[in-house]
Chain A
């Protein structure tokens, strides 16, 4: 009874003072009063009564302990019960052997006091040892035996006189007696101290009783030490105190051994009842909590955005629980769910039904959740993510399936779409990559095979370096490009600040430009180069350097040819226009003459008629000559006329020419004075036909444009290489403004007046001279005269027999 609960103490303290308390105190007071009266008047009676009371109490103690030993769990009290039995026994003998008594008269008061001391020693030692039994088991019989042995030993010792004397007639109490009392007091003091120390092991009331009992015993002993005679107040008080102490011990034993076991019993019952109550309460609470929890979970399940179900398999398969969302997910109503055990299969697509049936057999797939498709009641497909939890009972038998079904139609569709898209994307990326690679390859080949030297410059850490070049560039400057590949612009074009500036411009303005510059190529010679700069992001410039020297040359040649052609065309057009005009004029004359003759024949005189006929004749002749000239010119210009030199007698040829020209006109003409330098060879190899035209034209012009009275000088001179024909007249001359045009066909100076002429003569002269390899010079002053000088080469080749025809 060391571990006492507060509730137990409460119950105990509650029951104690309630009943018989007043009676108890009444009896006590009465008893005390009676005993007090006896003690004064009949001491031996008082003594015997007091002793007997304590013996009775001690015996009662033992009886109590004896009877209650089986259910009494306090070994401390059991021990005390046994101890006090023997203490009581000794006390009984003490009281019987008391002086006043004559029961055991054979024994002296010393014996009585010896018994008393023995009893007190036994009592005090027992009280001293008793706390041991808080922790040690008290074997009833053994303890009883030991005490019996001790008691007998003590009696034997006393009877045999070995026990020291306590009282000596005449002397009184022996020192042994007195010191024993003090010793006993000390022992009891120690007992109290030990008890106090062990108080936590004892019930509070027992402790109080016991402590009080020991203290009272101490006081009683002290009282006995004080008495001089046997009958005095000290003994009275001592006896009373002793009785009280016994009573208190009795109370302690009653309390704990008798009353308490019941109380304990009740207490246990109470405890059980309480715990039952508690249990009931807690059950109720638990149930409440469970209900709340169930409701909570049900609510959670009901309101869960995913389908949650429990499909029971025992005893009959079928849905046991389906939450709200299931109805909207699958389209089936609650009634349909609970009425159709095979709905789970119905929902599943035919190809998956076997798996569902396997599920019922307990074959839960390892892959959980299962992603599959269900068929909605309306026939549409829904994608679901099916988490299955098989539920087993204790016998490991599958009793139900619990599942969570997430409608992932949208997710699946989205995933599907994403997958498709990804696939498509990947495909296109792959395609693009391949195309890119092909394109890259193509571009590379194209780049390499550009027929123009092409360089790629790239900006790299504040510098521009040659990153690439094509085959043409390599062909052009193999050493240089190989050597300077990866080098800077300044190293590659050290002498071309323009080029460097252009590349910088192109790079910074990110625009293409082009420019023609002169570049040193393949060593030192400069070439006209068309350089095209194309910005190539990022930070690159493609430079084409096209050598256009030849092209420019060709262009220039072409342009010159074109100009000449244009000029020729213009000349031709003008020539045609002139020719037509020049022919129309004589034709008009002829036409008008014939018209006159025809229209006015009778009215015309004979002379007039002849004149017209003559005119017609002359005009026709003129036309013929002009036609000859035109044809000659045409032949010369078209290159059909051949240079055909031959040996002939030049002086006579010239004289003949002069004669013919002078005779040409009917009217008198200026005199031609011919002079042939005698140093010149007479036989020369020249083209007679060409010479006739050249000199003839010059002579006829001189004659035509000279007044009759002026002489014309025709001189032939020569040096070793040239023969020189000079025709000088004193005629109208050529105005300065016209001098540069006199060799143009049909051109006639303004001052020709009515002197007939086609304007072809000098043109023919020029052409023929070119054929003959000669040249012409002239000097003229208007109204003063003109001198034409023709130089013809006297070439050995011409004079050679082999090359010249005779």
Chain B
């Protein structure tokens, strides 16, 4: 079950989106402002993020930047949901790295389609990565892996840094 995070300051809209997505069979987590949203995302690691732009405190752009800055959520699909309809706002949204931009008031179909598409594409990328990872793991000679996994290396490298190194390696491969 895909987990979707919703960050929206308007209670009714948030509730409605939550209701809608739950009814569509997604696991939904929600936050009423950016600050809470960022924490939520880091804790819950959702598969997709829906975020309002105009919010008191931390706005949508900032949330997006924070999300993209974090390695774990770098590739998480991010959809802006906003009442700002002017082209400039849209461009800013896109430039900061949002995957989609849905304007309020929105058709539920549009939102659901966007969510679906983003999740699909993300799954494809994930698959590709997984395949690559598997292939590399398979192809790398055992001799090469052995010293890496030696006690000294394990001690000198934390788990997260090893992971980062791997990700870096993959991204290079891609």
Chain A residues with CB under 8 Å of chain B are: 577, 580-581, 584-585, 587-593, 595-596, 599-600, 603, 608, 612, 615, 619, 748-754
Interface-centre pick from A589, A600, A751 (highest chain B CB count, 10 A): A589
Known: A588-B104, A589-B10. A750 touches B20 (CB 8 A): no
* B23, closest chain A residue (CB): A600
CB pair B104 A587 closer than 8 Å: yes
Q: Once the chains are docked, how many angstroms separate the CA of A265 from the CA of B70?
A: 171
Q: Shortest Cβ distance from A747 into chain B, in angstroms?
A: 11
Interface-centre pick from B12, B54, B104 (highest chain A CB count, 10 A): B12
CB pair B19 A596 closer than 8 Å: yes
CB pair A592 B16 closer than 8 Å: yes
Residues in B whose Cβ lies below 8 Å from that of A589: 10, 12-13, 16
User: Which of B105-113, B116-124, B138-146, B160-168 lies at the interface?
Assistant: B105-113
Q: Once the chains are docked, how many angstroms separate the CA of A653 from the CA of B10?
A: 34
Tell me if B84 is interfacial: C-beta within 8 Å of chain A: yes
CB pair B105 A596 closer than 8 Å: no
Q: Which of A577, A580, A581, A588 is the one whose CB lies under 8 Å from B13?
A: A588
CB pair A585 B108 closer than 8 Å: no
Q: Once the chains are docked, how many angstroms separate the CA of A752 from the CA of B16?
A: 22
Known: A592-B13, A596-B108. A581 touches B20 (CB 8 A): no
Tell me if B17 is interfacial: C-beta within 8 Å of chain A: yes
Known: A615-B12, A753-B56, A754-B11. A588 touches B83 (CB 8 A): yes
CB pair A619 B12 closer than 8 Å: yes
Interface SS of B by simple majority? loop
Q: Once the chains are docked, how many angstroms separate the CA of A603 from the CA of B22?
A: 11
User: Can you report 20 residue pairs joining A to B where beta carbons are below 8 Å apart?
Assistant: A577-B86, A580-B85, A581-B84, A584-B83, A584-B104, A585-B83, A588-B106, A589-B13, A591-B104, A591-B106, A592-B13, A592-B16, A593-B16, A595-B108, A596-B19, A600-B19, A615-B16, A619-B12, A748-B56, A749-B56
Q: Once the chains are docked, how many angstroms separate the CA of A603 from the CA of B19?
A: 11
CB pair A591 B105 closer than 8 Å: yes
Residues in A whose Cβ lies below 8 Å from that of B107: 595
Residues in B whose Cβ lies below 8 Å from that of A596: 16, 19-20, 23, 108
Residues in B whose Cβ lies below 8 Å from that of A753: 32-33, 56
Tell me if B9 is interfacial: C-beta within 8 Å of chain A: yes
Q: Once the chains are docked, how many angstroms separate the CA of A748 from the CA of B54?
A: 12
Q: 1/0 contact trace for B19-61 toward A, CB 8 Å? A: 1100100000000110000000000000000000010110000
* A751, closest chain B residue (CB): B56
CB pair A592 B20 closer than 8 Å: yes
Q: Once the chains are docked, how many angstroms separate the CA of A685 from the CA of B108?
A: 54
Q: Once the chains are docked, how many angstroms separate the CA of A592 from the CA of B83?
A: 13
Q: Once the chains are docked, how many angstroms separate the CA of A596 from the CA of B13?
A: 11
CB pair A599 B105 closer than 8 Å: no
CB pair B17 A592 closer than 8 Å: yes
Q: Which 8 pairs show the lowest CB-CB distances between chains A and B? A: A584-B83, A592-B16, A591-B105, A588-B104, A589-B12, A588-B105, A595-B108, A581-B83
Q: Once the chains are docked, how many angstroms separate the CA of A580 from the CA of B16?
A: 21
Q: Once the chains are docked, how many angstroms separate the CA of A593 from the CA of B13?
A: 8
Residues in A whose Cβ lies below 8 Å from that of B105: 584, 587-588, 590-592
Q: Shortest Cβ distance from A385 into chain B, in angstroms?
A: 97
Known: A592-B108, A593-B16. A754 touches B83 (CB 8 A): no
Q: Shortest Cβ distance from A25 into chain B, in angstroms?
A: 173
Q: Once the chains are docked, how many angstroms separate the CA of A255 from the CA of B1?
A: 195
Known: A587-B105, A589-B12, A754-B9. A595 touches B20 (CB 8 A): yes
* A589, closest chain B residue (CB): B12
Q: Once the chains are docked, how many angstroms separate the CA of A310 from the CA of B8?
A: 133
Q: Once the chains are docked, how many angstroms separate the CA of A748 from the CA of B56?
A: 8
Q: Shortest Cβ distance from A507 into chain B, in angstroms?
A: 58
Q: Once the chains are docked, how many angstroms separate the CA of A753 from the CA of B108?
A: 26
State which residues 56-109 of B face A: CB under 8 Å: 56-57, 83-86, 104-108
Q: Shortest Cβ distance from B64 into chain A, in angstroms?
A: 19
Residues in B whose Cβ lies below 8 Å from that of A588: 10, 13, 83, 104-106
Interface-centre pick from B11, B16, B107, B108 (highest chain A CB count, 10 A): B16
Residues in A whose Cβ lies below 8 Å from that of B108: 592, 595-596, 599
CB pair B56 A752 closer than 8 Å: yes
* B84, closest chain A residue (CB): A581
Q: Once the chains are docked, how many angstroms separate the CA of A751 from the CA of B10?
A: 15
Residues in B whose Cβ lies below 8 Å from that of A590: 105
CB pair A585 B19 closer than 8 Å: no
Q: Once the chains are docked, how many angstroms separate the CA of A585 from the CA of B83?
A: 7
Residues in B whose Cβ lies below 8 Å from that of A580: 83, 85
Interface-centre pick from B11, B32, B56, B106 (highest chain A CB count, 10 A): B56
* A752, closest chain B residue (CB): B56
Q: Once the chains are docked, how many angstroms separate the CA of A596 from the CA of B17?
A: 9
* B19, closest chain A residue (CB): A596
Q: Shortest Cβ distance from B29 into chain A, in angstroms?
A: 17
Q: Shortest Cβ distance from A545 into chain B, in angstroms?
A: 50
CB pair A600 B20 closer than 8 Å: yes
Known: A580-B83, A753-B56. A585 touches B20 (CB 8 A): no
* A583, closest chain B residue (CB): B83
Q: Once the chains are docked, how many angstroms separate the CA of A595 from the CA of B112?
A: 12
* B52, closest chain A residue (CB): A585
Residues in A whose Cβ lies below 8 Å from that of B84: 577, 581
* B54, closest chain A residue (CB): A581
CB pair B23 A603 closer than 8 Å: yes
Q: Shortest Cβ distance from A613 into chain B, in angstroms?
A: 12
Q: Once the chains are docked, how many angstroms separate the CA of A585 from the CA of B84?
A: 10
Q: Once the chains are docked, how many angstroms separate the CA of A612 from the CA of B11?
A: 12
Q: Which of A587, A593, A600, A750 is the one whose CB lies under 8 Å from B57?
A: A750
Q: Shortest Cβ distance from A580 into chain B, in angstroms?
A: 7
Residues in B whose Cβ lies below 8 Å from that of A752: 56
Residues in B whose Cβ lies below 8 Å from that of A591: 104-106
Q: Shortest Cβ distance from B107 into chain A, in angstroms?
A: 7
What 15 additional pairs, Cβ within 8 angstroms, besides A584-B105, A750-B56?
A580-B83, A581-B54, A581-B83, A584-B104, A585-B10, A589-B12, A589-B13, A590-B105, A592-B12, A596-B16, A600-B19, A600-B20, A753-B33, A754-B11, A754-B32
* B32, closest chain A residue (CB): A754
Q: Shortest Cβ distance from B78 into chain A, in angstroms?
A: 19
* B58, closest chain A residue (CB): A750
Residues in A whose Cβ lies below 8 Å from that of B17: 592
Residues in A whose Cβ lies below 8 Å from that of B104: 584-585, 587-588, 591
Q: Once the chains are docked, how many angstroms separate the CA of A588 from the CA of B12?
A: 9
Residues in A whose Cβ lies below 8 Å from that of B11: 754
Q: Shortest Cβ distance from A265 into chain B, in angstroms?
A: 157
Residues in A whose Cβ lies below 8 Å from that of B13: 585, 588-589, 592
Q: Shortest Cβ distance from A599 into chain B, in angstroms?
A: 6
Residues in B whose Cβ lies below 8 Å from that of A619: 12
Residues in B whose Cβ lies below 8 Å from that of A581: 54, 83-84
Q: Once the chains are docked, how many angstroms separate the CA of A592 from the CA of B105?
A: 8
Q: Once the chains are docked, how many angstroms separate the CA of A590 from the CA of B15?
A: 12
Q: Shortest Cβ distance from A748 into chain B, in angstroms?
A: 7
Q: Shortest Cβ distance from B77 into chain A, in angstroms?
A: 21
* A603, closest chain B residue (CB): B23
Interface-centre pick from B10, B32, B54, B105 (highest chain A CB count, 10 A): B105
Q: Once the chains are docked, how many angstroms separate the CA of A299 from the CA of B98?
A: 119
Q: Shortest Cβ distance from A115 into chain B, in angstroms?
A: 188
* B56, closest chain A residue (CB): A750
Residues in A whose Cβ lies below 8 Å from that of B33: 753
* B11, closest chain A residue (CB): A754
Q: Once the chains are docked, how many angstroms separate the CA of A194 from the CA of B7?
A: 182
Q: Shortest Cβ distance from B174 into chain A, in angstroms?
A: 38
* A581, closest chain B residue (CB): B83
Interface-centre pick from A580, A585, A588, A603 (highest chain B CB count, 10 A): A588
Q: Once the chains are docked, how many angstroms separate the CA of A584 from the CA of B10?
A: 11
Known: A584-B83, A584-B105, A585-B104. A608 touches B19 (CB 8 A): yes
Q: Once the chains are docked, how many angstroms separate the CA of A600 from the CA of B20?
A: 8
CB pair A599 B20 closer than 8 Å: yes
* A619, closest chain B residue (CB): B12
Q: Shortest Cβ distance from A677 into chain B, in angstroms?
A: 37
